[in-house]
Amino acid sequence: MGGAWQGPLERIDDYRWMIPKSFMNGMNVPGIIYADDILIKSIKNDNAPQQVANAACLPGVVKNSLAMPDIHWGYGLPIGGVIATDIEENGVITPGGVGYDINCGVRLIRSNLTEKEVRAKLDVLVTTLFHTIPAGVGSKSDIKVSDRDERRIMTTGASWGVENGFGVKEDLDHTEENGCMDGADPDKVSERAYERGVRQSGTLGSGNHFLEIQVVDEIYDEPAANLFDLSLGSVTVMIHTGSRGFGHQICDDYSKGMVRCLSKYNISVPDRQLACAPVKSPEGRDYIAAMKCAANYAWNNRQCLMHMVRTVFEKVFGSSQKNLGLTLIWDVAHNIAKFERYKIDEKDKMLCIHRKGATRAFGPGNPAIPHEYREYGQPVIIPGDMGRNSYILLGTKKAEEETFASTCHGAGRCLSRKEAMRRHDRNTLLKELGAKGIKVMAVGKETLAEEAPYAYKNVNEVVNVVDKAGISKKVCRMKPIGVIKG
């Protein structure tokens, strides 16, 4: 990481800081970081601003290299980073700008249940979920998938799950991209990636991935909360996972391969982790086709997991998922590259938007939003750590104008996993969470300490920044009462 940030940070306003183009040779645009006085201190300690500046050197980058308040050090682009490249001006795509866990994302499910009803059965509910849902490193699913089906998952995404009984059509309507990106090509995926992806559809994974039972405890926008059929005390379920080893291998394959593209296309980058290729080059097109396979794989993974959640709730509460009101509010991608149109210098441009640890936040009226949400803006789902809160927000027009319709994606780490483990042990943490009324079960012995609340920034502060800055708008807050970790 190279220690604390020593470079310039010029204050623009209460919630934006700028790294000027003059900071280092090769910067094509300034860097802009969204943060308040509290968060900027931890951001400086992490040195992630250097990665914001590095990304500003990419060919074809436009407007600003951006970072959200949950920014922390990552591979190539910082986690919490957003960059856009102009594909008509030799703009590039970089696997380091998408990340290893392609389409790591969050899915939020509402219910008709109250906190009292769930707490009465919380132990059995969490235990049943824990023993039903495969979680942890190398976990495998009981869902039978043929070789032909594996390829179909890559090209059809969550539709595969719905077609095979793991959900309903309405789920697709409330999933970003309807759960599938066109243009995925399984032939651009390595054999090793195929091997790592076998039987991982419907698995939670490890690390910061989780399944959480939550209760709405604050409402900031009542009409929007009513739109999502949520009120104080409503119980929700949040699923956070991605493309597992499948997407990780695709990123690894193409990150290494694109190092060779630097000399081929006469590209200079300050960090080889930002190895890239022009979007329109053969290498760029191949990566995009493989990335879309991983994105579709992740959407199907979360679709299958949601089906398992519904099944467990039916079993524990002795009622149908319809009577329990287990409907999908929204599913968002956090690590992905998308092609979207924005005005740059008064010209309409097709841009490649890299969002790495960032959430798309289209504002009201955007045609990409389902019609029932369009008047309000795209739902934005922000998970916190397992001891604090999570949020639902809405995208805004200001986000479309300032941040390529992007906002934060979570709390953001402030301690390494090693440092977090050094500070606390598993049993102490379980007692602390239990005292807050949170039941936690985890597969890995070290996972709980690695993912302790103090290892993360305060999500309430992070969300406050994006809300006050106007790039997303708070709707409601949820507190955790049951957590499953890998």
Contacts (Cβ under 8 Å, ≥6 apart) of 299 = 103, 105, 157, 158, 175, 176, 177, 179, 180, 331, 333
Which amino acid, one-letter code, is at 4?
A
- Report whether 303 contacts 158 (CB < 8 A): yes
Annotated catalytic residue: which of 209, 240, 409, 424? 409
Q: E strand or H helix at 239, and its extent?
A: strand 234-241
Residues 6 or more apart whose CB falls under 8 angstroms from that of 6 comprise: none
Are residues 241 and 209 in contact, defined by beta-carbon separation less than 8 angstroms? Answer: yes
Cα distances (Å, whole numbers) of residue 85 to 64, 109, 276, 344: 10, 34, 12, 11
Examine the residue annotation and report whether 409 is marked as an active-site residue of this protein: yes
CA distance 287 to 391: 33
User: Which residues, at least 6 apart from 209, have a Cβ–Cβ distance to it below 8 Å?
Assistant: 104, 135, 240, 241, 242, 485, 486
Distance CA 159, CA 168 (A): 9
Q: Are 287 and 254 in contact, with CB atoms under 8 Å apart?
A: yes
Distance CA 256, CA 261 (A): 10
In 3D space, the residue among 455, 357, 409 whose CA is nearest the CA of residue 100 turns out to be 357
Tokens 């060919």, located at residue: 59
Query: What are the structure tokens assigned to 420, written together?
Result: 């977090």
Burial 417-430 (b: 16+ CB within 10 A, else e): beebbeebebeebb
Point out the residues that are catalytic: 409
